[in-house]
Amino acid sequence: MSSTAKEAAKASVTVTLDGTNRSTTLPLLTGTLGPAVADIRKLYGDLGVFTFDPGYGATASCESKITYIDGDAGILLYRGYPIEQLAEKSDFIEVAYLLLEGELPTGTQLADFRKNVTNHTMVHEQLRRFFDGFRRDAHPMAILCGVVGALAAFYHDNLDINDPRQREIAAFRLIAKVPTIAAWAYKYSIGQPFMYPRNDLSYAENFLYMLNAVPAEPYVNNPILSRAMDRILVLHADHEQNASTSTVRLAGSTGANPFACIAAGIAALWGPAHGGANEAVLKMLAEIGTKENIPQFIKEVKDKNSHTKLMGFGHRVYKNFDPRATIMKDTCHEVLAELGIKDSPLLDMAMEMERIALTDDYFIQRKLYPNVDFYSGIILKAMGIPTHMFTVLFAVARTVGWVSQWKELIEDPAQRIGRPRQIYRGAGTRDYVAVDRRS
């Protein structure tokens, strides 16, 4: 526990084991914001019992200074700054600095940081060959996961996680190279030549360039679309201890190198309940087909036996509007206007779905609101980005969050290997029976 948390421990929780005279007093820790947290570390030692919290809905797994979410109020802060202000006034590189370093940069710090990230955008030429090993129809998340993990084989010089300088270089390499690998995964899937990064472009512009440019034609940057991409990157940059970030931290707690940890995060992000949701939203809208079919679909969602979810709705922490969804909705309208898409059946369907869901008791009672993925899929589709690239894009944005959380973990003197316990409900102890005596 850090000294701040120690000093904040003013109140306590007393737990008594019913039917015995044993009890223990657990310190109650307070953070800068958010509810108090009971420090249960001595519970097992004092009372011989564990806590049970599958899905970790009531467990703070670490102390962090990076991101804060108030799910009831719909608030998201990066290092204390509201996401709405950052999305409007900042850009992805500045936000990346903020997440990693804790403060907004001065002009010189920002210029240096931008230069450092830009200088690392190319990947080792040998790494190109990895792509040839994948089938053309491989999901780009599979490629991203494999190739990012493989980076560890190229950078033996910065695998010492205990050296701050090596950690810093690994951070630059990951933030800079993941977009290149992501764009190449896409180019590979459509059989087009890989485009090398252009360091005269901004982070978002360069990413769009690597995705969309071809060597045969001049490339024209669209500032509205690159601004939208930058905003998508900012909105997805970090989100506290979600499933993929917790995966990165768990892998990092073993001392694994940063490239392996980020590859683990990419794998966790892939699931449809997490980063795969924006892809799933479009699939869902396509399956529903027309606005007229929405009421029937909503009926199916509410039927316990159907296992159908309204994708892009609901969140473990947000029990009010996801503030990212609100910004995403505005960006969606901007992008469609810029592209001259006046009638978007997808957007119409999404808005109708949102309208129905927000007035339906099932969703109201469960506090289910649109999350960031509900609108991001529509923007990306309008920008010409294919559905199977959506989660890849999310991974590009989240890399800086994962790296910041990994760095914080390594720099935390209290960090130990992550090793949860369990409640065992399997067979009791029994003797081995020879195969000819088994019935």
Catalytic positions, written as ranges: 315, 373
With respect to ligand ACO, which residue has the nearer C-beta, 123 or 385? 385
Residue 214 engages ligand ACO in binding (rule: CB under 6 A): no
Q: Which helix (H) or strand (E) holds 24?
A: strand 23-29
Q: Which helix (H) or strand (E) holds 45?
A: helix 43-47
Q: Which amino acid is at 41?
A: R
The CA distance from 339 to 336, in Å, is: 5
Residue 315 engages ligand ACO in binding (rule: CB under 6 A): yes
The CA distance from 31 to 52, in Å, is: 23
With respect to ligand ACO, which residue has the nearer C-beta, 27 or 314? 314
* CA 437 to chain CA mean position, Å: 52
- Contacting ligand ACO (CB under 6 A), which of 123, 178, 277, 285? 277
- Contacting ligand ACO (CB under 6 A), which of 27, 140, 149, 314? 314
State phi, psi for 52 to the nearest 5 degrees. Answer: -120, 115
With respect to ligand ACO, which residue has the nearer C-beta, 97 or 369? 369
The CA distance from 366 to 364, in Å, is: 6
With respect to ligand ACO, which residue has the nearer C-beta, 309 or 388? 309
- Contacting ligand ACO (CB under 6 A), which of 140, 312, 323, 377? 312
Residue 319 engages ligand ACO in binding (rule: CB under 6 A): no
DSSP letters of 273-302? Answer: TTTTHHHHHHHHHHHH-SGGGHHHHHHHHH
With respect to ligand ACO, which residue has the nearer C-beta, 252 or 275? 275
Residue 313 engages ligand ACO in binding (rule: CB under 6 A): yes
Query: Considering only 107-115, 200-208, 274-282, 406-414, which stretch makes contact with ligand ACO by CB under 6 A?
Result: 274-282
- Contacting ligand ACO (CB under 6 A), which of 301, 393, 395, 397? 301
CB-closest chain residue to ligand ACO:
314
Q: Shortest Cβ distance from residue 327 to ligand ACO (Å)?
A: 14
Q: Shortest Cβ distance from residue 258 to ligand ACO (Å)?
A: 22
The CA distance from 278 to 293, in Å, is: 20
Angle at 34 between CA 271 and CA 395, to 5 degrees: 25
- Contacting ligand ACO (CB under 6 A), which of 124, 283, 309, 319? 309
Q: Compute the half-sphere exposure of residue 37: CA atoms within 13 Å on the CB side of its CA.
A: 20
> Which residues 346-405 are close enough to bind ligand ACO by CB under 6 A?
366, 368, 371-373
Residue 226 pairs in a beta bridge with none
Query: Considering only 13-21, 273-281, 341-349, 423-431, which stretch makes contact with ligand ACO by CB under 6 A?
Result: 273-281
DSSP letters of 89-132? Answer: H--HHHHHHHHHHSSPPPHHHHHHHHHHHHTT-S--GGGHHHHH
Residue 65 engages ligand ACO in binding (rule: CB under 6 A): no
With respect to ligand ACO, which residue has the nearer C-beta, 140 or 314? 314
Contact residues toward ligand ACO (CB under 6 A) are 273-275, 277, 301, 309-316, 366, 368, 371-373
